[in-house]
Amino acid sequence: MNINITILWSSIAFFIFTWSCWYFIWPPLVNAIRTRQQTIADGIENAETAARDLAQAEQQADEITKNARQEAQTILDQARSQASSMVEAAKSEAREEGERLKAAGVAEIEQEANRIREALRSDVAALAVQGAEKILESDIDGDKHREMLDKLAAEL
């Protein structure tokens, strides 16, 4: 176990090897590692941002869908109520029209009946006068008995 000049050569070798590692090996190797770490960090960050964006977009989509559904429901409700009110209006109009037509018919019928009654009345008056003339065999003064005849006709 001799201590000799090998000790000095080993020191020099130590320096040369560490210096070579520092000068030749370290920069490219560490640079590659750092660049990759940066790339990975960026990738993770991008993925996180994308996930956040996606969640936001999904929320927005949900909101839009919800709004659309609500709007559709409103429109549907409005349409339904409008339709029913239109039906109601049509019904009432039809009813009114019917009433009107019925009233007109009734009036016409009454008018006709009155007319016929008037005609009958005058006919009856004439027949009564003729009958009485025949019975009395004399003229009944039409003018004289007009009042009585009218009364008779009104009673019919």
Partner 1 sequence: MATGEVTSAEYIEHHLSNLTYGRMPDGTWQFAHNPAEAAEMGFWAIHVDSFAWSLGLGLVFLLTFGIVARRATSGVPGMFQCAIEMIVEMIEEIARDIFTYKNDYIAPMAVTVFVWVFLMNLMDLVPVDWIPHLATLLGIHYMRIVPTTDVNVTMGMALFVFAMILFFSVWKKGVGGFLAELSFHPFPKFLAPLNFVLEAVTLLTKPLSLGLRLFGNLYAGELIFVLICLLFSGGIVLTLSGVVLQWAWAAFHVLIITLQAFIFSILTVVYMSQAYDTGEDH
Binding site for partner 1 (CB under 8 A): 1-11, 13-15, 17-18, 20-22, 24-33, 35-36, 39
Is the Cβ–Cβ distance between 125 and 153 less than 8 Å? yes
Closer residue to partner 1, CB minimum distance, 36 or 100: 36
Q: Whole-angstrom Cα distance, residue 123 to residue 156?
A: 11
Report the 10 Å Cβ neighbour count for 125: 20
Report the 10 Å Cβ neighbour count for 30: 10
The nearest distance, CB 38 to partner 1, in angstroms, is 8
Closer residue to partner 1, CB minimum distance, 6 or 73: 6
Closer residue to partner 1, CB minimum distance, 2 or 138: 2
Distances (CA, A) of 72 to 19, 26, 62, 82: 77, 68, 15, 15
The nearest distance, CB 49 to partner 1, in angstroms, is 22
Closer residue to partner 1, CB minimum distance, 13 or 50: 13
The nearest distance, CB 22 to partner 1, in angstroms, is 4
The nearest distance, CB 47 to partner 1, in angstroms, is 17
The structure tokens 């018919």 sit at: 105
